[in-house]
Structures are given as C-alpha cells and as structure tokens.
Structure 1
Amino acid sequence: MIEVPDEARRRLVVRFGPGATDWLDELPALVGTLARRWGLQIDGPVLSGNSAIVLPADRGVLKLHPDGGIAADEAAALAHWSAASTVVDLLEHDEGALLLARVRPGTAVPTALGTDPAVLPALVDLWTTPGAPDVPPLVDRVAFWHEKVREHLDDERVRGVIPPEVLDRGAGEAEVLAARPGHEGLVHGDLHAGNLLTGPAGAVVVDPRPCRGDRTFDLVDPVLVEGRPERVVPELARRLDGLDPDLLHAWCRALAPANAIAALRTDPGSARTAALVALALRD
C-alpha cells in the first residue's frame, strides 16, 4: 500500500493543478505495475519533492512524475550524461517514471560547492560533456523560475527587503543572458546543494531540470552557496577550461534577487542571506 503524505499531495496539486489528485489516486496501481515489470520490491516510505514522488526500492529509486514531459526530459539528460560517473545512473524509463541507481550514503553535500574537491569533478563533467538532447531552451527555465519566485514577494520575510522592481531587473538581465551565446550545451538547471549527493567517490549529480543553453548558469548555485562569488569564481576559472569569469559574475548578479528571496524564506538570519541581499540590492 502506497501512502502519500498530505504535504506531498498539497505540493503536487499546487505545482500541477487539480489533475494531480487523480494521478495520486491512481499511484498505487501504477507502482504495482512498474514493480512487476521491472522486478522491484519497494522497501521504504514515500518521499517527495516539488514535482515528483520518490520511492526507495531494492534495485534503486523509483521516481514518478505527474507530468510525463518532465520525466522524459530528465531521462534524456541522464542518458546524455551516462558516461559520467558523477551523474546518477538511469536504469529504466517509462512514461512518467524513472528507475535510478541509489546513491549511498546519499546525503546532501554540505560544504562550499564551488571549491569543494569532492564536487569539482561533477562540475567538470557537466561542463565538458559535449552537445545536448532535445530539451527546452534555458530561457524558458529562467522565465519559469522567476515566475515561481515572484509568488513569494508578499511573504512577510521578503516584503520590504527585496522590492518587486529588483526582482524584475534581475529577471530581465537573466533573460538577456539566457538568450545570448555562452558555453553552449546541456544545462542541469537546478544544481543546488540538495541535488549534489555524497557518493562513494565524491559528489553525484541528481534531479536535473534540463535545458539547452549556457552551462555557466549551472555554476551560479555552487558559487552563491556562500553568497560571495568573488571568493569562488577565480578557483572555478582555473579548473574549467573556457569559463568566462565576467559572464559568471553577470549570471550571479542577475540571479541574486531570486536567490535572496529563497534564502530569506528559509534562512533569514544567516550571513549568506545577508550577502545575497546585498548582491541583489547593488546599485
């Protein structure tokens, strides 16, 4: 019996609309079908993110999306990166469902991502893998993210700190950057600390929201994990051949307002949040 926690249901309905309720009601039957087809034994409780239900199984991790297009894009990206040991392995894929290798111990990487020697090989692999499958353009991902962030401008922790015009300015700058030529290829699209897990030999990348465009975008979260890009960009420039430090700084400035809003909602009193707010409010 698959029991989806109420909070997971709420997040999926908010993300995908009322149609997600029907999908959730049919989920136990879907899991049973996939378990028989792929020879799985579900061995843990339901986990969830903002756009998927995740179930641990004996052969790996079963990930199910209400939107089959999201799953298809993720599968295409993971297949594209299949030669990279720093990216989670895709074992099976069907419409709306992925079976992924389990990453052990699988805890989130806790340190300064841009310079962590355990993380740098993953950044190098994403940076150097040529080409890209047919996934949406980066400009669409940038617009979607700012649209979601805009919903939180009235949060009491954000209101009066990041004005709407500051987010608008950053969104406009990011749209211009996404449309211009950069280090073209497959972009992970959501490379924050929670999507870099500790594996036996270093960090393993999971949960892409893939798009095509300037891979410099993927470096922003690793750089801004401390809120001070000037500390991290020079080291990345030494390690990533072809990285344009000025372009990376421009991406950090453009995305700082959205990052600051997220930080104000989750960690309002930290030094990192203060640094992100200062970067967002620059003249």
Structure 2
Amino acid sequence: MTAAALPRPPARLVRAQGASSADWLAGLPALAGSLLRRWDLTAERVAEPGGRDSLTVLVRTASGGRAALKICAPSAPATLEEAALRRWNGLGAVRLLREAPREGALLLERLHGETSLRSLPEAKASLEAVSAVRRLWVEPGAGHPFPSVAERTGAQAERMRAGAPREAGGLVAEALRLRAGLLAAAPAGRLLHGDFRQGAVLASDDERARWLAVGPEPVVGEPAYDLARLVRDRLHDLVASAGGPAVTRRRVARLADAVEVEPERLRAWSLFRAVESGVRNLAAGNRADGEMLLEFAGWL
C-alpha cells in the first residue's frame, strides 16, 4: 500500500477532530507515506474504527515483523505517551519500537486490536484488568514530564464550572467537593495509565504477558484515580440492567479490595470522573451519553 493508496482517515477520527484539525487530516496520507519510507515499513491496512486522536496503520518491518504505526493528532501529542511507554519498557504495556516526536509518530509492537478484555466475560475481564493495571503503577522517575492528577483534574474542574448544565448542578458541586477532599489527603503518586479500561487492554502473542495496555494518557497520582474509569466499564450494560446501582456499588468494593485502595476514595474518584465525562459529552452535543454518565454518577 503506497501513501497515495492509503484510505481516507477513519470516520471516527474525522468526527472527533473536526474542522480545527482539517489541515492535519488532509495531510495524513502524505505524512504516513513519509514515515513508511523513512522506517522502511510496508503498510497493510488502516486500523478501523481506530481512535479519536490518532491514526493507526498496521505495517510490516523490513525484516517481516508485525508492527503498528500510530500517528497522533496535534491535540493529543505523542510526547507523554512515548515517555510512559519508555518508562514501562513493555511491562504491562505495548512496547515502543521507534518514535518521531516532531511528527507525533510512534512505532509500536502489534497486538490483536480486534481482541480486547471486553471480549471476555465480565468477571474474567475484571480479573485480567486488575492484573494488567497493577503492573503499570510504577515510580514515574526523576525529572519526569507527566502532569499530576491535581493538574489534569484542575483544568477539568474549571470546564465543569463553566459549562455544567443547570440539571447537573448538584452532581457537579458534589464532584468538585469530593475532588478537593481527595487532593487534600492524597497518597504518594505513581505513574498511571490515565484512561485505563477494558477496551484499552489488548491480546498479545508475546510470552511476557497475555494482555497488554495501549493508548495511555499518563498522569501521576493515586491508583484509585486509574481504577475509577474501570468502575464504569460496560456502562451501557449497567444502565440497561435492573440492578445497575447495586452492581456498581459491588464493583467499587471488589476493585478496591483487589488492589488494596480505600473504597471511599475509589467511589469519590469514580463519581468525579463520571460527572466530568458526562458534562463534557453534554457540551459536545452527545446528550444520550452525557445523561447516561450522569445517571451512573448518581448511583455512587
């Protein structure tokens, strides 16, 4: 597949990036072609549906090895992901093979993108997820570039205050109150994935681990923050079930016990992250998802 023959960017990526990244989207085929030539790669196909912040091209290296070329959008620079993958060095996460920071490009070992933990039954997926995420919680290292949870959620809190709809006012106030308390008594920070969920853990053929994490949004903070995104996994199924609130509370207790974090801290971060995501979806016009996330937050 030549650069000229590369398909148009996936629809999911185009929708997420919008007009603000039109020039970058238009230049993706040429950029991908340049990277393929520079690194002596042969493109097989573009991964579909792909991510909202990057294009992934499945490739072969000059030696015939399988790899994945990821090109990150300007709105989601690859610098922090590269630093986190180097820090983990394949322990619990996909291995970084090469990088081109200026172009936002990462060459990664290829995993089975079509097979995530979401393909497993819920109980088995939860056990595997806990095993995978614990391997990522390492010291960030001296002079690391990663933002803190306080910094990342601080920007989110400002947007929540500015853009919360009236009907979400009570939940937003509670989320902000909980955040303040969490940060006032936060335990020592670790390097976190930042967007850890079952869909971000893919099957691997490498003997070092059956499942490996991808797509980090690395941040330094307490493990409960990382687990909070996992609490609402398979949200559509939770909302559709008659016992969603009870299942959610049991999930919080089970996850907290599995990794020895305080259940109340996990509950509080789960509420904050669900409200933040709900408000953000409402602001973007995704009313169904936004309302579902706020309903979930109300269960907590």
| Shorter-chain TM band | 0.7 to 0.9
Q: Deviations over 1:142-174 (max 9, x none)?
A: 2455677789966xxxx85xx234224314533
1:63-82 equivalence runs, <5 A: 63-67=70-74, 70-82=77-89
Secondary structure of the residue aligned to 1:70 is: coil
Distance 1:104 1:50, change over 3 A: closer
CA distance in 2: counterparts of 1:107 and 1:115, whole angstroms: 12
In terms of mean alpha carbon deviation, does 113-122 or 248-257 score higher? 113-122
Q: Is the 1:197–1:205 contact (alpha carbons within 8 Å) kept by the matching residues of 2?
A: yes
- Per the TM alignment, residue 215 of structure 1 is displaced from its structure 2 partner at its CA by 2.6
Aligned with 1:120 (options 125, 130, 134): 130
Does residue 1:166 correspond to 2:168, yes or no?
Answer: no
Is the Cα–Cα contact under 8 Å of residues 61 and 102 in structure 1 kept in the other structure? yes
Pairing 1:118-197 to 2, within 5 Å after superposition: 118-127=128-137, 129-132=138-141, 133-145=144-156, 163-174=168-179, 176-178=181-183, 180-197=185-202
Shift of 1:234: 4.0
Q: Which runs of 5 or more residues in structure 1 are unaligned?
A: none
Q: Which residue of 2 aligns with 1:231?
A: 250
Using structure 2 for the length normalisation, give the TM-score.
0.73
How many residue pairs match? The answer is 264
User: 1:220 deviation in Å?
Assistant: 0.8
Q: Which residue of 1 aligns with 2:288?
A: 265
Q: How do 1:96-107 and structure 2 match up within 5 A? A: 96-104=104-112, 106-107=114-115
Tell me how far apart the structure 2 counterparts of residues 214 and 12 of structure 1 sit (CA, whole Å): 30
Shift of 1:89: 0.9
Give the structure with the larger helix fraction: 2
TM-score, normalised by the number of residues in structure 1: 0.77
C-alpha distance in structure 2 between counterparts of 1:223 and 1:145, whole Å: 19
Q: Say if 1:93 and 1:99, in contact at 8 Å, map to a contact too.
A: yes
Query: Partners of 2:287 and 2:15 in 1: how far apart?
Result: 22
Shift of 1:248: 1.6
Task: Report how far residue 43 of structure 1 moved.
Answer: 0.6
Alignment correspondent of 2:296: 276
Is the counterpart of residue 9 in structure 1 residue 1 in structure 2? no
The correspondence for 2:67, drawn from 60, 68, 73, is 60
Q: Among the aligned pairs, what percent are the same residue? A: 26
Distance 1:51 1:151 in 2: 24
- For the 8 Å contact 1:114–1:236, the answer to whether it is kept is no
Pairwise CA RMSD: 3.4
